[in-house]
Amino acid sequence: MILLVGANGRIGQRYQRIFTNLGLEFTPYDIKTDAELSDYFINRRITRILIATPTETHVDVIRKYMKYSVPILCEKPICKDIKQIKDLFSDLKMIPFNMVYQYQYALEGAIQKDHERSWYDYYDHGQDTLPWDCIQIIGLAKSYVRLSDKQDVWDCSINGSKLNLRMIQLGYRQMITHWLSSGYGDKSKLLEIHEKTIEFEANPKIWQE
């Protein structure tokens, strides 16, 4: 059974729909409103944990649940502090861990090409700055990235392969299916993605045309 932490939020509700659609057994849990789950319940029933809480809570929530040594999938980004990520990865050791990365599945064909041209336009990107909002595109692109928040429509593509909502939903399904069979992510790659995003945020000229 999957423990869905942060189930009542907007992202958590999305995962509830995905799990239901895939016929997966899960326990929705909200850290703010629900009673604490017992160690007995988690040790006996929970086989995987997905964390969909706000970014600023990720590290604390991961540390809370990593003692159960089950695969953990965390929403993006892990956090915005490289030292915290390094310390976390050091403590996770061999515990299977990965970060949500559904674009990898939605754009799988496009990202195999060389000299990629990637762009991401998102006018209403919430509380995050643009680089953090499109951390996946920054991580996927091997060379050229263009980011712009000047458009009034959402647009995300690599090598001319544009994302749409259906592709994103299918990407989520493929990501969850793959996670259920593996659970492991490349921690060095995840660290590199966060470092690159911080670099982009600090120096906008890197990503502006």
**Ordered DSSP codes for 70-85:** --EEEPSPS-S-HHHH
Q: Domain coordinates of the chain in residue numbers?
A: 2-100, 109-162+186-209
Query: pLDDT of 131-173, one tens digit each?
Result: 788 888 788 776 666 776 666 666 777 767 777 778 888 889 9
Query: pLDDT of 111-128, one tens digit each?
Result: 665 555 666 665 555 567
Residues with Cβ < 8 Å from 149, sequence gap 6 or more? Answer: 121, 122, 123, 125, 130
pTM equals 0.87
Encoded tokens for 35: 């009673």
Give all strands of the β-sheet with 72-74 in edge-to-edge order: 26-29, 2-5, 48-51, 72-74, 97-99
Three-state SS at 50:
strand
The superfamily in CATH containing domain 2-100 is: NAD(P)-binding Rossmann-like Domain (3.40.50.720)
